[in-house]
Structure 1
Amino acid sequence: MNHYLLLMVAIISEVFASSMLKASAGFKKLLPSLGVVVGYVAAFYALSKTLQTLPIGVAYAIWAGLGTALTAIVGILFYKEKMNATKFAGIILIIGGVIVLNLSGAH
């Protein structure tokens, strides 16, 4: 499997798990709590497989950066969190940092 595709699986699984963490209401709701566990297990498994082919610095930067940006977007879209110029700028800076790391030729 393409290592970037596997990394995307890791990112999406982590964003799903983080979203379910909020929905679990402190692990008081069963289904969202199970979503947390399944999502994080899938995320770390996919990330560990990705690290067999990608450098850890690049893979982790992409995973953490895009995961953070996407989780913020999920919060805005699904949990009605406020979007403002500062939050927007932060998301853009995170994504920009990931792009710069990839362009650095660290593969």
Structure 2
Amino acid sequence: MNFLISDAYAQQGQPPAGGGMIEFLIMIGVFFAIMYFLIIRPQSKRAKEHKNMVDNLSKGDEIVTNGGLVGRITQVHENFLKVEASNGVELVVQRQSVAAVLPKGTLKDL
């Protein structure tokens, strides 16, 4: 039955190339650089900007919290803020929950 199907023989391959270690290390370095510039650096920059914003909060600033609450700061404490959400309605929120500081006069437009 061998006359219908020819036998398959393994061919001689080339020996594996040595010295692939340098290319591997360069590739790892390039991947680390890509990860640093696309993920780590922008995230740390945003965190630094948020920390500066939270540290510079003062009475009278108009803010938006992460939960969507919009109000004006009436009192500033070490870890908490008193925010006036409406006339006579004051809420206590954490400083870290502030998402953004709004331009002055935004609450009048709402």
The TM-score with structure 1 as length reference comes to 0.25
Highest CA radius of gyration, 1 or 2?
Answer: 2
Task: Identify which of structures 1 and 2 has the higher relative contact order when contacts are C-alpha pairs closer than 8 Å and 6+ apart.
Answer: 1
Which has more strand, going by share of residues?
2
The TM-score with structure 2 as length reference comes to 0.25
Which has more helix, going by share of residues?
1
